[in-house]
Chain A
Amino acid sequence: MAYIPNTDQDRQAMLEAIGLNSLDDLYTPIPEALRFTGELNIPSRYNQIALEKHYKTLGNKNASAEEYPCFLGAGIYDHYVPPTVGAITGRSEFYTSYTPYQPEVSQGVLQSIFEFQTLTCELMGMDVANASMYDGATALAEAAIMACELAGRKHLLVPDTINPIYRDVLETYVRHMNLTVDTLVTENGLTSVESVKAAITSETGAVLLQQPNFFGAIEDVQAISAAAHEGGALFVTCVDPISLGLLTPPGEYDADIVVAEGQALGCPMGYGGPLLGLFACKTKYLRRIPGRIVGETKDGDGKRAFVMTLRTREQDIRRERATSNICTNVALYALAGAVYLATMGKQGLKQVAELSLQKAHYAATEIAKIPGYSLSFPDAPYFKEFVVQTPGDAGKLNEHLMSKGLIGGYALGGHYSGMKNAMLLCVTEQRTKAEIDALVAALREFEGNS
């Protein structure tokens, strides 16, 4: 076995040293009735060459964005990944290490996380950030729980413009903490500040808002933040980190806790996992943050060094009184995020955001010209995604687009009743004018066929 170095001779010598006769003897601590002596009902082994063929066969059955221009977003995005990201995350000094419990031999991971935290803060305009969460959805759920604990209140006000999957995960999480989600039904693709003011009560611990929201539209974050604070609630936002190349950062509109799905920062779409949850907040809440935090300190020679810190918040020390049960997070994806942001930098990230914005607006404008199509929320400003009314079932339309070699949008009917003929389209900087024109042509054809 290529991954197991010891040979039969080694094993024999080791068994002799231990004073046992056979490998079976190692299992005498397990009562005989509980030992498994049969053959597992799993596939037979593959040799290395067959295994390589097998994964390629499986991979080739999938419609990757490498092969098909992708106009699908809805939380997972096909943004450009510069080659620096793979070069660094592919270094096994990083990917074959673990949580830096021993800082003297883990300065690489520790410093990269410290830089990731700083980049997150710079991007969001926030004071402090943690070392990552599983994904945007669980980060939002953790932020909601933390906000209610800080406010000492039990209700969350959640507009339906927040990603429906995030709301599903939020519901699952907070139900067990005896918190209640009050859903705010919105109109015209935007959350109105009046509706927030009307819905907020003395029991509202936090108002949650996504910016840009699930429909790609840009919310009036300043007014809603003010309304939340007026009502004595915390303001929690969930943002698209790429959009922050262009959009006002949450720190400037007084957000208390900010989370994000960071996948677009150099992480693979990877069929939806692993992902990268970003989590930042105001300094005064630092000691309530879930998960790992890296801080600066000094070593025995007085040199700058980094270490996991404020550890008494965490499960391995505080046990049932920890701020969260999270342990392993996604350090390698945080590293990808740090390399991505370092590579893109001040100019590059702005350019990615601007290209996405311009191309999305070109696509939307052209699509709205096709007979039978229109923008669902024509008055809402948007970033890189927008909702289109389609002349027929959006799922069927996607099948048509795939037959033309294009990955279409997100059919909204499953989560929003009355939006069966509506599709959320996404245009990133990766899409060329030719690809957008091909999409427009394919959409036009569908209209002609229906």
Chain B
Amino acid sequence: MQDPSLTHERLLFEISQPGRLGVELPDCDVPVMSLESLLPAAQIRKDLPLPELSEPEVIRHFTHLSQKNYSVDSGFYPLGSCTMKYNPKLNEDAARHPGFARLHPYLPDAQAQGALEVLFEMQNILTEIAGMDATSLQPAAGAHGELLGLMLIKAYHEDHGQGERDTIIVPEAAHGTNPASAARCGYKTLTVKSDSRGRVDLAHLKSELSDKIAGLMLTNPNTLGLFEDDIAEICDLIHGCGGLVYCDGANMNALVGRARPGDMGFDVMHFNLHKTFSSPHGGGGPGSGPVAVKKILEPYLPTPQVVKTETGFALEHNIPKSIGKIHGFYGSFMCILRSYLFILYYGKERLKDVADNAVLNANYIRTELQGHFDVAFDEICMHEVIFSAKRQQREHGIRALDVAKRLMDFGYHPPTIYFPLIVPEALMIEPTETESRQTLDSFIDAMKQIADDIVNDPEVVKSAPHFTPVRKIDEALAARQPCVCWSPEPVKA
């Protein structure tokens, strides 16, 4: 039998046949009126060009698509910066419970006490893990959390007569969302360099400080997988010039229970619940990006916050200095629920096991692969390790991209490549805590084999992947002649 993942799957629209039904809905049980008597003629749709498929055709189509997709449940997914850990099935069961799944967000508080308890508890739990004083669960993703954090910083400065502060400092190794979020918040960005140790260049930072600085955004551990050990001084410097310090919490998997951004001097941070606390990544979302803050920023949090009253849990909409709303409701509740259960599973006794095993796994890969690939910074790393394929590129013409594609042939999802930008030919490997030593050993063996092939048989690496549902993809063609929507005769934009 041919592997279904290797066969070409037609589009829904090409499978469609007139008259097919995917669902049978009940007859109308109330008196039926004519459409013309209920709707203005100009508002009645003439044609609805949707596909027509039966239920088995729908299921088979999307099942085939799923078989062309790599996932954490199918294998090792060391995509750096994304924390692709295992998603516990108990949490998926919980999300299907109708008491959550079919819960309307506008129900009176008395009818949603279970959901409000989850939110209230998570506000407190995340506040504690962050070492902060309050948390908003509203942001729908990490970048959304960044935007909220910056809005809070802006509101704080405006409230203190410092509205002329117009610049956010961002290290050159930062995630692209940091400068993009700053721009969305109406800020200018100023880039500070990294030093030879892969940390913020303190001398450069000092030279840029002024009364125009609203704040600094920093990922810690940073995107090189290294702890910013000058963090206390960095925070003092920013505070000294009147700014506030934002922690991009994308890399919290290295720290949970072992160190807290609030203790380091950060004023505000976001979590990525879909990274650190295991709500599934969903093929690219939904995410959840709660923001924790110190007392000074609490007055500006978005509405509503969940509070505990004598009669139970309640949504508090009255926050006089609030920046307003950034999401229709209370954030990605179903993700928050899953992460809440994930945290309770470990509890205060064992939550640090998450960080310990994630950091251990990353350092094991670092140690075992050294000598086969060049590690970007030769020291103890945190939850991820960056290698550079620059030597392979120079000596054999093999790039990080080729290594990534070749890894697919061994049955692995590639690491993140070409990020951070300051490491040439970067391969960013993040194993997470949910991988066994045996899995890591197999991956390490594959990487060593690739390193050998680069020397002895570079063509096999260069022409990879060989065993994936499609061969190497022409990304330039897609951008040159954009076709983003199917039509019977493809219309090129």
Contact = CB atoms under 8 A, between A and B. Distances in A.
B94 A35 contact: no
A315 B363 CA distance: 30
A26 B283 contact: no
Task: Please list the 9 inter-chain residue pairs (A to B) with the smallest Cβ-Cβ separation, ordered nearest first.
Answer: A45-B347, A272-B329, A59-B99, A272-B105, A332-B282, A108-B69, A274-B286, A61-B114, A331-B284
A15 B40 contact: no
B318 to A, nearest CB: 12
Contacts of B327: 134-135, 137-138, 169, 273
18 contacts: A25-B380, A27-B259, A84-B22, A94-B71, A96-B73, A98-B283, A134-B141, A244-B45, A271-B115, A298-B473, A315-B176, A322-B180, A328-B142, A341-B51, A345-B22, A346-B48, A358-B32, A407-B111
Given A43-B347, A95-B87, A177-B184, A122 B49 contact: yes
Contacts of B92: 90, 95
B22 A320 contact: no
Given A62-B115, A292-B284, A343-B22, A115 B486 contact: yes
Given A105-B413, A297-B478, A343-B55, 7 more contacts: A1-B346, A246-B39, A268-B101, A305-B470, A381-B38, A381-B40, A407-B104
Contacts of B296: none
A322 B175 CA distance: 13
Given A92-B73, A343-B23, A349-B48, A248 B259 contact: no
A297 to B, nearest CB: 4
Nearest to A249: B45
Most-contacted residue by chain B among A218, A328, A357 (CB, 10 A): A328
Contact of B99 (A62, A88, A96, A172): A62
Contacts of B30: 358-359, 362, 433, 436
Interface stretch (A46-54, A150-158, A226-234): A46-54
Contact of A95 (B107, B108, B113, B282): B282
Interface stretch (B351-359, B388-396, B450-458): B351-359
B226 interface: yes
A185 interface: no
* A10, A171, A342 interface centre (most CB from chain B within 10 Å): A342
Nearest to A56: B97
B189 A320 contact: yes
B334 A274 contact: yes
Given A172-B302, A274-B335, A297 B325 contact: no
Interface bin, chain B: 35 or more
Interface in B334-353: 334-335, 337, 341, 343-351, 353
Contact of A345 (B53, B285, B288): B53
B326 A173 contact: yes
Interface string B101-135: 11111111001111101100100110011010000
B136 to A, nearest CB: 12
A347 B21 contact: yes
B66 A108 contact: yes
Contacts of A269: 101-105
B163 interface: no
B469 A271 contact: no
Nearest to B313: A61
Contacts of A3: 85-86, 88, 345, 433-434
B50 A309 contact: no
Given A172-B326, A299-B471, A358-B30, A247 B8 contact: no
Contacts of B360: 6, 11, 14-15, 18, 23, 26
A171 B68 CA distance: 42
A35 B259 contact: yes
Interface in A20-47: 20, 23, 25-31, 33-36, 39-46
Contacts of A48: 90, 345
Contact of A34 (B77, B112, B259, B333): B259
A275 B328 contact: yes
A345 B323 contact: no
A202 interface: no
A339 interface: yes
A300 B472 contact: yes
Interface in B176-195: 176-177, 179-186, 189
Given A327-B141, A332-B286, A343-B22, A107 B43 contact: no
Interface in B1-24: 8-9, 11-13, 16, 20-23
Interface stretch (A192-200, A370-378, A394-402, A442-450): A394-402
Interface stretch (B143-151, B201-209, B238-246): B143-151
B258 A27 contact: yes
A180 interface: no
B25 A429 contact: yes
A57 B115 CA distance: 11
A114 B183 contact: no
Interface string B267-304: 00000001000001111111110000000000000100
A171 B489 CA distance: 41
Interface in B391-405: 404-405
Interface in A83-114: 84, 86-88, 90-109, 111-114
A178 interface: yes
Contact of A44 (B98, B99, B257, B348): B348
B408 interface: yes
A173 to B, nearest CB: 7
A41 B379 CA distance: 32
B177 A5 contact: no
Contacts of A326: 141, 143-144
Nearest to B323: A172
B232 to A, nearest CB: 7
A111 B301 CA distance: 39
A353 to B, nearest CB: 9
Contact of B364 (A14, A63, A122, A327): A14
Contacts of A136: 328
A44 B232 CA distance: 31
Q: Which of B283, B328, B465 has the most CB of A within 10 A?
A: B283
B368 interface: yes
Nearest to A95: B280
Given A93-B73, A332-B282, A27 B359 contact: yes
Contacts of A104: 405, 408, 465, 468-473
Contacts of B437: 5-6, 10, 13-14
A35 B231 CA distance: 12
Nearest to A61: B114
Q: Which of B20, B105, B231 has the most CB of A within 10 A?
A: B105
Contacts of B82: 98-99
Given A248-B44, A343-B22, A358-B32, A178 B186 contact: yes
B25 A348 contact: yes
A168 to B, nearest CB: 4
A43 B344 contact: yes
A45 B141 contact: no
B107 to A, nearest CB: 6
A80 B23 CA distance: 11
Contact of B25 (A66, A304, A351): A351
Contacts of A92: 71-73, 87, 280
B422 interface: no
B347 A42 contact: yes
Nearest to B99: A59
Given A119-B50, A246-B35, A93 B69 contact: yes
Interface in A243-282: 244-249, 261, 268-275
B93 A272 contact: no
B419 A316 contact: yes
Interface in B208-248: 226-227, 229, 231-232
A295 B380 CA distance: 41
B33 A358 contact: yes
B371 interface: no
B475 A309 contact: yes
